[in-house]
Structure 1
Amino acid sequence: MQKRQEPLGRGVLYRVYQRRLRNSLNPETLPRHVAMIIDGNRRWARQLGYDSPAEGHRAGAAKMREFLEWCDDLGISVVTLYLLSADNLTQRAPDELADLIEIIAELADELSRYRDWRIQQVGSKKDLPEPLIAALDAAEARSAGKSGLHVNLAVGYGGRTEITDAMRSIVADHHAHGGSLEDLAETLTPELIGAHLYTGGQPDPDLVIRTSGEQRLSDFMLWQSAHSEFYFVEALGPNLRPVDFLRALRDFATRQRRFGG
């Protein structure tokens, strides 16, 4: 028998605390780009007695729309959501993967029709099924002219693959223009590599958040997160609350960013 989750954070004291946290934030200290590793969906489903992990993935997807609203309302410019890794495509059970692909396609469609958000897939399409590719392409096309929150959907994403693809793109461009290996060695810089990443032209994430208490990157934005701040939340993905996010922002504002220094 499936159990229902009790609403979290609905009391008067909670709302007062949440309002106080939000009012304490200085807009000038907020991150421009927040990257989110949504984790713990399957554990959430198991804990609540669901028969299928799909229920957890659906709850996680719904939470990600809420999360984007929180970011948008605070004036954050870019958010990257880690929804499906390249490893997931080979390591998840076929039934779970099929459900997850359907959920992501639905989420991309929904987000592309919501507010003034611009949707972009970051990742490789190489091993994605055609229906998901079509849904992601349609979401990008539908939202291409929008100027609001820029939402990166990391789907079929792997950080190592991204860097490899960037290098291949650089070499191919250089070869197409008749350049030599010596010339390439002279022109190859971190800035050039960054421009050829899936997120080329975007600011690197200032803050990377991961839910479920796990403290690892899982091949996520390896290049871009070189100088990011990290914040780990104990809550499982679908249980993430506004106060959890506000605490992350409050903590971020107190850190002295050294950028490698």
Structure 2
Amino acid sequence: MNDEIGRRLREAAEAHQPDRDRMLARVHRGMAGTAVPRRSSGIARSWPKVVLAGSAAAGILAVAGLAVAGSVQTTPAHPDSETTLTVPSPSETPATHSPGTTGGTPPPAPGHPNRTTTARPPAGTPTPAAPAGRRVSEGPLSAQGAIDPHSTVYWAQATLTLDVAEPLTAFTVEVRVTQNGGVQSTGQWQTGPAGDFTVTAQESDGAVVYRWELKPGRTVPAARHTFAVQYNHTAGARNADADGYRVQATASDGIHTVQGGFTPAG
């Protein structure tokens, strides 16, 4: 709108030109219609004034037009643009949980083909005691406990590897996971046939206790066996120093017991 007004004023100022011939004709007609010398003399004397007045008017219009055009601020045109909101991609903002972070949903426990369903032990079952010391080898038994390296800040697996040198006719494995913050069982598994064992998991005396007990008439063969427990815990790096295992077995030469703890994942 402002640009259009300025343009029209400039065009009007430039187009205005005094009609000199017309003005002279009017002067001559006026001089011819009177016999008074004074009037003729006055009109003749006033002719330069008329010419100057017309020129001055034209100049004023031109200057006014330029002044108005110059005073009108021309707003620079802005191209149409769109505001783009940049949203970081998942790769730029990795959703990681650091130790000590609360909240969030724990990851599911990894599956295992021989994983068994835990159950409560029958009433009257004595509460197992925590291992009093470490004895990882005795008779035909040799054991090693470790925290699985795939454990996370929300979930962990404690793995007991047991080497058996001769068949066992009685066999009991207990793993204790100390309740030091949100520990909750998510399952357990073993490499031996699930039907050979009575499997339980219960919280007792400040710990979650997992138990495998060989059923009557079954035998544990000489081989390497694995027993694993899985559990959720409070977010963060969990300390497993107070966790432990205890294995009691009957071989041809009598009863043997091994017990120990779990080395950290590394």
Q: TM-score, normalised by structure 1?
A: 0.22
Instruction: Flag the structure with higher strand content.
Output: 2
| Structure showing greater relative contact order (alpha-carbon pairs closer than 8 Å, 6 or more residues apart) | 1
Structure with bigger helix share is 1
